Structure 1
């Protein structure tokens, strides 16, 4: 799978232009700052369009365009990062009273001219990518269809969930307080088998015997009231006397007649949240669509499958079943059934070792297990099985099944989520610390003047949580913490590959120049200077080494990190900081080990917030 483009930066351009204009009001080189602001605003619509197109480029399609578009976006990201560094430096100079000396302005003035020219050149260069034309590739197809007929002989590893759902659907008591049929929601990541579970439930003999009428609708991206109503009506077999020109009212009247006094079971498969609508607007759509079901008999139910917890909330689900990854033993059984044609014999001994490795690598994903099983169908060659134990193969399949969830996110949430990849896989996130990091890096951008950044950052976090990118849990003290499950961590790593790096096993020969956010254990910390231009770094997360401890931060190394915004030492053994920390003039977030005794020169830090 090709490397993804860098995360979106078009959302930052207007704010950067505003900062440049505000600085120009008190500088002698106001014209240069105004030119930079104008260049940022000129390129913004072009950048927004090309980022949108890049996010929907599927692997293998539009192959001639993808490399050039990728290179253009990398160049834009680097230019925007330089602009941020430069404006931060100019802001610091103003605070420290450096504007009186002409010599102090000479370097920034050259940089201002160069950056404005670079942005305008990038805008001109975008014309060969056809930024003004409609993107004909990579657009999500509106024709994805699922059906109620199961494609598999049996559902592996989901018996408990299926029985639980059936029990909820044929049980009573909940409909008393509902104006329409109560909703049971199945929530899980892409490839977790939500549709397969729904098919199993739909065709269960207990369901068939309990309900008078059943209907299956694949929603996908249909969020038009009339279209959805027509789909439901068609699924009940009651659409013969309707036409495409019928009004919503006529369609709803007909649906109400069809389900009247019948115990009705409706499956809404693959429901997404419409990012173009507010939550209130989305609730209004669904209230209209489901209103005719109020004429159905008591005991009617709706089963919804979705990747997003927010969909279950919008539909007022009375019960939510969360599909987690399969156990390794179930993945092994599913792999055997798919690859070996469902043979009843035990797993062939010569393949068992490779089968177990594959079952561990798929991270509980039924889809990844089945894809690899299909690749191995009816082969007993140990060489072929060994080849598919490569973790990269499994990761690429997992990413393919999850990338649509990421691509559906607004740009500001894409960046905040992908940034989490620098933390270890088992990391327990403190939401308030993470929000402060986002704020320190400028990821939280208010659309309305006067909005508190911390409140907005917490909204970002809640949005990611409601879209199932974070998982919440409680420790033994009943305190809530958050984490990325294995699949989401793989996804975050993929979409941050250009911007973030985690060094925890072996230091790479070269750290890509696009990387600005880095986590590293203390034993590799002294080696960074020879591998990377540390002046590019914005985030440095230092973790305790498993092999040795270090209480000192290398003085010369810290001095090189001149553009650092976030420095987190809270999980390291470093208890002493060198005086060079006072040179980190852009630092906005500093987290220390709890036993740190002194913080030299902290009074000289501009805007530093110690966490």
Structure 2
């Protein structure tokens, strides 16, 4: 049974920006009926409702009513954006009065605008029956994370597989050394960082109970932080862990912060103290300075401890390591296949000495390959194998959906904990292949082209700078991994993060890399597809809805052409990425993609149509190729493309004249870039 379909990614952050755009155009004079003003008012009315219901949508993943409402909202907001973009384009192109542009754009005096405003109001009316249920769910859930998670220092498992190297690394960083390891005066901090289900708590329990650790420290304390962010509550938990009974705490049994910290300072004074903080999160409602302040207060009493005291933190977020000034961090990746096999066998059979019957070993080995190195998935499927009553039930466990669902259950909290603007940017990455190496600058340009980067009203910040901050925020929260090759840093989604992104973009994104589906859902607006399947898209999908098209290299053809009649159908396309395709030639119809903001060409492209120079809003065009005689208009003509930012990737040089043309092209591109920066 597949995991429940999630709500579509949030769009409420776009509503206020669209309302501002509509109101601005209205002030410019849209005709006597002021249909733009009506649309702006409708958007403003629905914005707070949308924000509330989006935040609560994940609490009711099985609720079709709320999910359907959020889809209706998403479609209405997308249509509003398309209408305003078209109006803006016509006004720029013709210089006609705004009221005339409205009539020309919408084939009648604002008819589409009025219909859209009425549609938004209907969506708002429908929300009233959902809001009480959402508030009830919010009250029951207590916010983003459930407070029910509790861990302890006792190792719940008989054995921990495949973590010997990480265990020894953590123990070595805890045992020995002094306070000189950190710049601050609080005990040095060691961190174990990894995705949900990677076994961070189990590793910390192994370390906590290791004989070397027990011998080194005079006092050990274990606190499951989870959603606790109150300084007094955290201090009280530390005191309870070292054996201070509740009745020793002053006041109402909870104790005020000063009294609690005095008690902790006395209890820890002159002792080698080990504090384990399990499952630490950053409070997204606070700034980094505020989060640092909380932990500085909580850890302040440990200044009284003896040299050699340490703090061990487990977290999903690299950002936690930065906030706590971690001196040594150990990253937990997926287990090796052999270790997954041993762990699954331990759970399924109850001991390493036992083994599966020969006729079942191949089936179980195939199941192990599905868990993608996740200890949690291996244990969960091991429990299913233990309870399976037949070979048929065992074969059913080979279904990838089962292991994916288990992995999702451990990771979805990380996604739900993200601010809404980061949720969408991350989930969008699902359209890329699993082996994709992301260039952070190109990805940010795609986000900008799609309108994903929305600067706060009070901030004046370049979209590129804000987009890079978005990327850094995702990186600090462990959603991207890093790799270095040829002195360049690349970013990637590991298998588990890719599963997570696919799950939370199911309504909005689709990747076609094998057989093309019978129907592409109408909610899909971002698509990646092999060039083999391009000709079949027209019969499967209303192409005018598409915002992103990523074309990938065909496994069966050496080169291909973009179908001429197909390209013209992508009337609302913002991003067209052909950089990893085998599309060698583009048709003249590309000039009809008037809303295109991001164009990435394939290195095999050997001919550019004349119409490409009509794309006045293209902001990125990479790579730019050598211009030979078959490139229309010569080198200088290409300079008419507006806002050209990136020029790279010269394809080939055939003659000295080619070299001169290439130098001229690069000089002109540099000039365009300099004028933009200036």
1:489 pairs with one of 493, 498, 506 = 498
Q: 2-side partners of 1:111 and 1:246: how far apart?
A: 62
* Correspondence for 1:416: 425
Residue among 20, 23, 39 paired with 2:22: 20
CA distance in 1, matches of 2:468, 2:131: 37
Distance 1:585 1:107 in 2: 19
How far off is 1:137 after superposition?
A: 4.6
Q: Specify the SS of the correspondent of 1:545.
A: coil
- Partner residue, 1:54: 57
Match of 2:123 in 1: 122
Residue of structure 2 aligned with 1:310, choices 307, 319, 323: 319
Deviation of 1:141 after TM superposition, in Å, equals 2.1
Asked if structure 2 preserves the Cα contact closer than 8 Å seen for 1:6 and 1:496, the reply is yes
Task: Report the counterpart of residue 649 of structure 2 in structure 1.
Answer: none
Distance apart, 1:558 and its partner CA? 0.3
How much has 1:105 moved relative to structure 2?
Answer: 4.9
**CA displacement, residues 213-243 of structure 1 (integer Å, 9 cap, x when unaligned):** 0010000011111111111111111244114
Deviations 1:85-127 (A, max 9, x none): 1110000010012645585155261110110000001111111
What pairs up with 1:18-417 in 2 under 5 angstroms?
A: 18-29=20-31, 31-57=34-60, 66-97=63-94, 99=96, 101=100, 104-107=104-107, 109-130=110-131, 133-134=135-136, 135-139=138-142, 140-173=145-178, 175=180, 177=182, 178-239=184-245, 240-243=247-250, 244-377=253-386, 379=388, 381-417=390-426
- Say whether residues 1:438 and 2:447 are aligned partners: yes
Distance 1:292 1:193 in 2: 30
Distance 1:280 1:75 in 2: 39
Q: Does structure 1 residue 590 correspond to structure 2 residue 599? A: yes
Q: Counterparts of 1:586 and 1:246 in 2: how far apart (Å)?
A: 61
Please say which of residues 544-553 and 118-127 is displaced more in the overlay: 544-553
Distance in 1 between the 2:381 and 2:580 partners?
A: 38
Gaps of at least 5 residues in structure 2 are: 623-678
The structural deviation recorded for 1:163 is: 1.2
Matched residue count: 604
Q: More relative contact order in 1 or in 2 (CA 8 Å, sep 6+)?
A: 1
- Displacement of 1:506 after TM fit? 0.7
Distance 2:105 2:446 in 1: 31
Which stretch has the larger CA shift, 192-201 or 371-380? 371-380
Alpha-carbon offset, residue 596 of structure 1: 2.3
Alpha-carbon distance change, 176 to 469 in structure 1, aligned in 2, over 3 angstroms:
closer
Deviation, 1:343, is 4.5
Indicate the SS of the match to 1:458: helix
**Deviation at 1:381?**
3.1
Rounded to whole Å, the distance in 1 between the matches of 2:254 and 2:106 is: 68
Q: Secondary structure at the match of 1:275?
A: coil
Specify the alignment match of 1:456 in structure 2. 466
Q: CA deviation at 1:602?
A: 2.3
Residues 41-73 of structure 1 show CA distances to partners (whole Å, capped at 9, x for unaligned) of 10011111111111233x5xxx5xx11000000
- 1:26 shift after superposition: 3.0
Distance 1:185 1:53 in 2: 32
Counterpart in 2 of 1:9? 11
Summarize deviations over 1:444-468 as a string: whole Å, max 9, x none: 0000342100000000000000000
SS at match of 1:541: strand
Separation in 2 of the partners of 1:200 and 1:411? Answer: 36
Distance in 2 (alpha carbons) for counterparts of 1:176 and 1:491: 37
Write the distance in 2 (CA, Å) between the matches of 1:175 and 1:497.
Answer: 50
Which whole-Å CA distance do the structure 2 matches of 1:118 and 1:332 have between them? 55
CA distance in 2, matches of 1:378, 1:597: 60
3-state SS in 1 of match to 2:521: coil
Q: Secondary structure at the match of 1:393?
A: helix
Greater Cα shift, 106-115 or 130-139: 130-139
Per-residue deviation, 1:16: 0.4
Aligned-residue Cα RMSD (Å) equals 1.6
Aligned residue number for residue 614 of structure 2: 604
1:527-606 paired onto structure 2 within 5 Å: 527-600=536-609, 601-606=611-616
Q: Per-residue deviation at 1:180?
A: 1.0
Q: 3-state DSSP class of the match of 1:326? A: coil
Structure 1 residues 470-507: Cα deviation after superposition (integer angstroms, max 9, x where no partner): 001101x1210000000000000000000000000110
- Find the aligned partners of 1:295 and 1:34 in 2 and give their Cα distance: 64
TM-score (norm 1): 0.96
Question: Displacement of 1:341 after TM fit?
Answer: 1.4
Match of 2:484 in 1: 474
Superimposed CA distance per residue, residues 336-376 of structure 1 (whole angstroms, 9 cap, x where no aligned partner) = 11011125134431221111111111111100111111112
Q: 5+ residue gaps in structure 1?
A: none
Shift of 1:606: 2.6
Q: Deviations over 1:167-188 (max 9, x none)?
A: 1110315545441111110000
Deviates most, 525-534 or 239-248: 239-248
